[in-house]
Amino acid sequence: MSASPGAAWHPTTPFSTSLTTSLTPVLGREADLDRVLAMIDDPSNRLITLTGPGGVGKTRLAQHVAATMIDEFDRDVVYVPLASIRDVEVVLLTIGQALDIRFEANEAPEDRLVQAFEDRPQLVLVLDNFEQLLGAAPGIARLLARSAGTTILVTSQSALAIPGEHLYPLPPLPTPSPGQTTAEVILRADAVTLFVARARAVKPALVIDDRQAVTIAEICRRLDGLPLAIELAAARMNILSPDALLARLSNRLQVLRGERRGVPDRLRTMRHAIAWSYDLLTPPEQWLFRRMSVFAGGFSLDAVEALFQETDDGRDAWTVLSTLVDHSLVQAMPHPTGDVRFLMLETLRDYGLEQLDERGEAGDARLAHASHFATLAEEAEPHLYGPEQERWLNRLEPEWENIRAASEWSLANGREAFVLRLFGVTTRFATARGHVTEARGFLDRALAASGDRQSIHHCRGLVEAGNLAEDQGDQDIAQSYFTAALDLATSLGERRCQALALIGQGYVAHGRGAYATAIDVHSRAASLARETNDAHLLGRALGNLAAVSYFRGKLDDAQRYWEESGRIFASLGDEMGETLSIGNLGAVAA
């Protein structure tokens, strides 16, 4: 409906702006309530926008703020629900209706509202659900500029992005850390408090011991601390135990549905709440939202750009991603490395994966995801042994869940080469950061299923599977992998892989006490390293020769080898290798 004056305007359907009293208490938002009230009390905050994803509780908090201001502070508050409005041209008219204003023919709505605001000094106007009406934001800005005493509180998944706006991002409710194991501690967490209160509404006799508390804490974590998701899940406690409910959360969106009467359609199920947000996006934004759902445990801008395709409107990955952040569908999270990482709440991610499957896009997205992380691993390899090794270890660590997800998909879809590429070059990361068992499992499965057994990737996979087996004391398995790797490398003419396989055989021989064999294979590896001018490989071979010499009691040889390997590692900036050499020289001198 147009707002152009010409005839008196009144709604065509009944429209209620009454602020109803909630039948359930608002839990876990006491601190947020106090902060928002303090913001409203500051006259410099004329426009305050509560932002956050669907289901986080923006409407509930805004209603609680409004009720508190009326009941406890006797403030003049008008609540305007906008969820049913789609036409930006009727926003001002809708506000007028909430104020009991009848617009006459040829009367400008903005002028009439300014006049009404002058008659109500210190008015607090609550505009609920503005995200589908962002085109009306300039009108709100003009209204505020002309109404000095008015404060507006908005709820929206996106900022209005107009002058003077102060954002209050509403986070999910805090959940217990995984290390908490007692009911006494777990029940203090706001997310758990909400779950228990709603569960006891349908199951009054619910008793919670330590074991059940741990399960409920995991349920709340799996639901991202989202109040709507928690309330929907808790309603299932009428027929499910906490353990049974947790087991069913592998399909969150199916569980998070129910017969919620007396609430807007968008809040009847978690799927409805997310669909409301998703439908407000443009097609390119929807495409990227679906695509990003393949990421596990967060992602970087580089990863988004790797999956991105040019949009019809010419926007780049950063611009579209920024829009999704603005819409509260993706969170920008500072990382200890100084970089910014991005995160989709798992409930939103489930919806994105659902949409990917429905459109037949999942295979392409997963393939691009696996390809990106295999490429990242290969890019990381030379840096894991040089002056930037710590930075690259820290860069790979937050990607572990993505590496795991890419590996699982690759193994399930005949793409074993991606796993061989991922772990054939990053076992130093796996051993340094405690991922040996998982990395070994992935490599074992990929090597067993690999259809291309004559590639350099297969060869490197054999070497690194041997290194991981040897690291865990499985000498026989390690030896079989190193032998197969040496045979393959020799047939391929890959001298570096030959040297790596020989070093592995030297580890096994050393561990078995076969020192003569260990000296022989490490010496051959050192020769190959010299032939190929591979300084780092030479440093490793010399360090291993030193270790075998030390255990044979040949301390002069050990000292000579460790001194040379230490110089090589120092020249390469490999602090880990240099430190190891220096420490071993100390043992020789002792």
Mean pLDDT is highest, among 24-38, 97-111, 541-555, for 541-555
Residue 389 lies in a domain: no
**Do residues 405 and 512 share a domain?**
yes
CA atoms of 135 and 207, how far apart (whole Å)? 50
Residue 302 shares a structural domain with residue 438 = no
Same domain membership, residue 524 and residue 419: yes
* Averaged pLDDT for residues 342-367: 95
Local confidence band at 530 (pLDDT 50, 70, 90 cut-offs): very high
In DSSP notation, 14-64 reads: ------PPPSS---S-HHHHHHHHHHHHSTT--EEEEE--TTSSHHHHHHH
Tell which wins on pLDDT, 262 or 368. 368
pLDDT score of 171: 94
Confidence of residue 380 (pLDDT cuts 50, 70, 90): very high
Mean pLDDT of 287-304: 95
91 and 134 housed in the same domain: yes
pLDDT at residue 18, rounded to an integer: 55
What mean pLDDT value characterizes the chain? 90
Using pLDDT thresholds of 50, 70 and 90, give the confidence band for residue 24. low
Output the pLDDT for position 425: 87
> What is the rounded average pLDDT of the residues 289-310?
93
pLDDT tens digits, residue range 202-237? Answer: 999 999 999 999 999 999 999 999 999 999 999 899
Say whether both 511 and 579 belong to one domain: yes
* Domain presence at residue 121: yes
- pLDDT beyond 50 at 14: no
- Provide Rg for the chain, Cα atoms: 31
Report the pLDDT averaged over residues 84-112.
89
Residue with tokens 């903005």: 110
What does the H/E/C string look like for 346-360? HHHHHHHHHHHHHCC
- Domain end point (choices 169, 198, 227): 169
Phi first, then psi: what are they for 9, rounded to 5°? Answer: -110, 135
Q: Is residue 367 part of a domain?
A: no
Report, in this order, helix, strand and coil percent for the chain, each rounded to 5: 60, 5, 30
> CB–CB of 551/511 below 8 Å?
no
Pick the more confident residue, 250 or 51.
51
In a domain, residue 380? The reply is no
Domain's final residue, options 169, 202, 217: 169
Q: Read off the pLDDT of residues 243-259 as tens digits, 9 standing for 90 and up.
A: 999 999 888 888 777 55
Closest CA to 459 of 414, 497, 496, 421: 497
Please determine, for residue 349, whether its predicted confidence score (pLDDT) is greater than 70. Answer: yes
**16 lies in a domain?**
no
Q: Are 152 and 38 found together in one domain?
A: yes
Does 153 share its domain with 197? Answer: no
What does the pLDDT read at residue 258? 59
Q: Nearest 5 degrees, angle CA 261-CA 263-CA 267?
A: 110
Residue 375 lies in a domain: no
Which region among 94-103, 190-199, 248-257, 348-357 has the lowest average model confidence (pLDDT)? 248-257
Which residues lie below 8 Å from residue 552, measured CB to CB, with a gap of 6+?
Answer: 515
Residue 234 shares a structural domain with residue 117: no
pLDDT at residue number 559: 94
More confident position, 253 or 86: 86
Q: What percent of the chain has pLDDT over 70?
A: 94
**CATH at residue 488:** 1.25.40.10
| One domain, residues 235 and 152 | no
Choose one of 125, 147, 169: the last residue of a domain. 169
Residue 450 scores a pLDDT above 90: no
421 and 291 both lie in a single domain: no
- pLDDT at residue 2 above 70? no
Rounded to an integer, the average pLDDT of 401-414 is 96
Please report whether residue 543 resides in a domain: yes
Whether residue 449 is predicted with pLDDT greater than 70 in this model: the reply is yes
- 252 and 161 in one domain? no
The number of domains in the chain is 4
pLDDT over threshold 80, residue 361 = yes
pLDDT of residue 267: 57
309 band by pLDDT with thresholds 50, 70 and 90: confident
Q: Are 88 and 136 in contact (CB under 8 A)?
A: yes
Domain that holds residue 332: 281-360
Please report how many Cα atoms fall inside a 13 Å half-sphere around the Cα of residue 71, on the Cβ side.
Answer: 9
Based on the fold, state whether residues 319 and 415 are members of the same structural domain: no
The reply to whether 552 falls in a domain is yes
